[in-house]
A and B are shown apart, each in its own frame.
Chain A
Amino acid sequence: MLHDMRPEDIVGEFREKTLDLYGGYRRAVLYTEIETPYPDGKLIVSTTNKDGIITHANKSFVEMSGYTEDEILYAPHSILRHPDMPPAAFKDLWDTVNRGEHWQGYVKNLRKDGGYYWVKATVIPNIRQAKVVSYTSVRRKPSRTKVEECTQLYPTLF
């Protein structure tokens, strides 16, 4: 279950939008223009089950998300969904991994405090005994050139 974001958690001036998320969730998100830079040398790693529920998150995931580990574990991965991300990107992600293939793309993620961070994400299906049992997502530091390209492109995809 995803709760609406709360104004008392937000740092800085914010805007509000209601998102329709994967799995039939609706969520009111509050977001600011404050970017948290991706930490050098780190990977953000998480695993979700087939329904997109987070079953594992590494320390960098927790730190960058702004949530506690308890808040993150067993939450829908769409807890990080930023309103600037076009739904088409996530549809492409799910279509690709459901075919058993790797998906790679640049993603703007939403923090608990309303801020954001950009990542280069790779999502792969975890195949055990020839069946997809879960998905692992690994994010690394994106180049600013790619981020700037996506900043221009994504608003055109709504």
Chain B
Amino acid sequence: MTYQFTVSPDFSPDHISGWYIFNTWLQKQTGEAIHLEMYDSFQHQREAIQQEKVDLIYANPYDAAMLVRKKGFLPVAKACGVSDEAVVAVSAENSVDHVEQLQPGIKVAVTEDPDIRLMGMIMLEPADLNASNIEVIVNGTYVLVAKQLLQGNADVGIFFAEAFDDLSDFIKSKLKILVRSQISVIHHSLMIGPKFAYKRNEIVGLLEKMGEDEKGGGVLKSLGFKGWEKVDDEEMEFMIDLMDTLAV
């Protein structure tokens, strides 16, 4: 049997080859045939999950509730010391210095990345802004979000903090951060589906020791991770509860 592995479509383009290298490593370690399928959108990935095609996923926290509560997935591990944080930024030329100065009717550039968009919208709430009184411009990448600000097509951009930090120094010099989240407990997680769940403990063990040998260390480097740490059921439930409170 071949299992399907997929990665949240918000992965950094710099690490796409890293996920293929990781998949090869995982197949060798587990002795299982695992096919890596990279979906180009959250919608396509969710359709595959609904059709029960996915057995292992590096999942966006926004999808964790659906995966655990509706599809019977279990958490496996998360990248050490990595959490999902959002940045709300404007053009450096914009006279606005604080979120509270933003006015209804503004254009907000975002990507489809669901947890970052949610966090960004929460950080706009102090200005009484919500989906009903802003215009949302959805973009394919965070570079395009930045472009919308630089070209004056959008007033505010919501960025994945890591993606913002990875923008070129030139682009960053043209932008101004209004607020950066410091939530710390929302993170992507590797999660395993019901058909593959019998391998959960074995995979947790493999991932926890991944950095101990040269080959595993190289794979981690290609993913941009320092290591993996186990996510237990209660930690995942807590994050799902937290996401629930933010979605209200």
Contacts and interface: CB of A to CB of B under 8 A. Distances in A.
B4 interface: no
The prevalent SS among residues of B at the interface is helix
Contacts of B57: none
Contacts of B48: none
Given A41-B179, A42-B182, A43-B183, A124 B245 contact: yes
Contact of B182 (A41, A128, A136, A140): A41
A5 B100 CA distance: 34
B237 A141 contact: no
Interface stretch (A27-35, A68-76, A82-90, A142-150): A142-150
Contact of B237 (A45, A126, A140, A143): A126
Given A102-B245, A136-B242, A128 B180 contact: no
Contact of B126 (A45, A136, A143): A143
A40 interface: yes
Interface residues of A, number: 27
Interface in A102-136: 102, 104, 120, 122-124, 126, 128, 136
A136 B179 contact: no
A80 interface: no
B99 A40 contact: yes
A116 to B, nearest CB: 17
Contacts of B122: 140
Given A42-B183, A43-B183, A126-B241, A138 B126 contact: no
Given A40-B99, A45-B185, A145-B128, A138 B246 contact: yes
A60 B181 CA distance: 12
A20 B9 CA distance: 52
B100 A136 contact: no
A136 B245 contact: yes
23 contacts: A40-B99, A40-B123, A40-B179, A41-B179, A41-B180, A41-B183, A42-B183, A43-B183, A45-B185, A58-B185, A102-B244, A104-B248, A122-B246, A124-B244, A126-B237, A126-B238, A136-B242, A137-B245, A138-B245, A138-B246, A143-B126, A144-B100, A146-B128
